[in-house]
Chain A
Amino acid sequence: MRWRFLPLEGDAAFNMALDEALMLGGRPTLRVYRFRPSAVTIGYFQRVSSSVDLEEIRRRGIDLVRRPTGGGAVYHDEMGEATYSVTGPVDLFPSGVEGSMRFICEGVMNAIRKLGLEPEFAGVNDVLVGGRKVSGSAQTREAGNLLQHGTLMYDTDLETLAKVIRPPSQKLADKGIKSVLSRVTTLSKELGRGVTYEEVKEALIEGFSFLGEFEERGLDEEEWKLVERLEEKYRDRRWTFRR
């Protein structure tokens, strides 16, 4: 199977518009990208006020956008987080959402192994190292195609993360953990050295090679038009604040 590797990145609204456009287009595509500037994304079904600290987000000048996919709030640190997205026809993947999420997460786990750490899959969409979360993923499907995207924290400023994302108190109480800081980590922390974005990007591309062969290519004109149209939605505050 021939896959496209698409080396495009931008701000939060652009990144989400591009991921949705790739899903609707349906050409098998892998992206590895950053959020420039840093941003918080929230899941499609999340309530803004319950999932993030808006005041902290504003004070720090961090972008906020609602994703097309479900799942939880994510802090995308421009200097310490890599996001991947996988899009293509659903028949390229195991049938259900849960099974296909686990299947695609193998790419993240391969990347972590390649960097010298032992990952562990947890819950339905998390990847841990040393018992702490380094990656979370989310998926949606439309028009017979699938979009899964997820995060890999290699040097995220965890204090900022802990301030901008509101932990559901119940979640933490259940786990008997006092703070967000004690349940997340980064690849740099775990390896005891500074990991670079380029390293992580290469590791992810290699990690996803079980999907097929990658060829670096851009968007065609029709895809660009769709991205531009979808960008308007993601730039509209009503979209982000709809719940």
Chain B
Amino acid sequence: MRPKIIRSKAGKTLEISLSVKEGKIEKVTITGDFIAVPKSAIDRLEESLRGVEPEKVEGVVKEVLEGVDLVGVTVQEIIEVIRELSSSR
């Protein structure tokens, strides 16, 4: 699991750790001082990303986070960090 920490445009911290196995996401954790409602969305996103190939990350994240009220971090920022971590190995 390699972590990447960014400061979002809204000034919050987004920390994502991710491991890749045979070209697919094996495990991902998404943490930080942002707000998400409903809060179960982040657990659900971590689950949904298991076994996903880097090129499919955008679609999965957008689908799971549709209608989720995110404050402090954007869907695009989450996608960018996950894509970078999942394709750089």
Shortest distance in angstroms between B68's beta carbon and chain A's nearest beta carbon? Answer: 10
Contacting residue for B5 out of A72, A139, A170, CB 8 A: A170
Secondary structure at the B interface, as helix, strand, loop or mixed, is strand
Q: How large is the interface on A (under 10, 10 to 19, 20 to 34, 35 or more residues)?
A: 20 to 34
**Which one of B20-28, B32-40, B52-60, B81-89 is at the A interface?**
B32-40
Chain A positions 156-209 with a Cβ under 8 Å from a chain B Cβ: 168, 170-171, 174
Most central of B12, B35, B36, B72 by chain A CB within 10 Å:
B35
**Which one of A8-16, A44-52, A225-233 is at the B interface?**
A44-52
Taking CB atoms, residues of chain B closer than 8 Å to A68 are 39
Q: In the bound complex, what is the Cα–Cα distance between A124 and B15 (angstroms)?
A: 19
Q: In the bound complex, what is the Cα–Cα distance between A139 and B5 (angstroms)?
A: 23
Taking CB atoms, residues of chain B closer than 8 Å to A69 are 35
- From known contacts A101-B71, A124-B71, A243-B29, infer whether A44 and B10 are also in contact, taking CB-CB under 8 Å: no
Is A141 in contact with chain B by the CB < 8 A criterion?
A: yes
Is B7 in contact with chain A by the CB < 8 A criterion?
A: yes
- Are B13 and A70 in touch, CB under 8 angstroms? no
Is A119 in contact with chain B by the CB < 8 A criterion?
A: no
Taking CB atoms, residues of chain B closer than 8 Å to A97 are 35, 37, 69, 71
Taking CB atoms, residues of chain A closer than 8 Å to B10 are 123-124
Contacting residue for A72 out of B29, B33, B38, B42, CB 8 A: B33
Is B31 in contact with chain A by the CB < 8 A criterion?
A: yes
Shortest distance in angstroms between B64's beta carbon and chain A's nearest beta carbon? Answer: 15
Residues of A within 8 A of B (CB): 43-47, 50-51, 68-73, 96-98, 101, 123-125, 138-142, 168, 170-171, 174, 243
Known pairs A125-B71, A141-B37, A170-B7 / 9 extra A-B pairs, C-beta < 8 Å: A45-B30, A46-B33, A47-B31, A70-B35, A139-B35, A139-B37, A140-B39, A168-B33, A170-B5
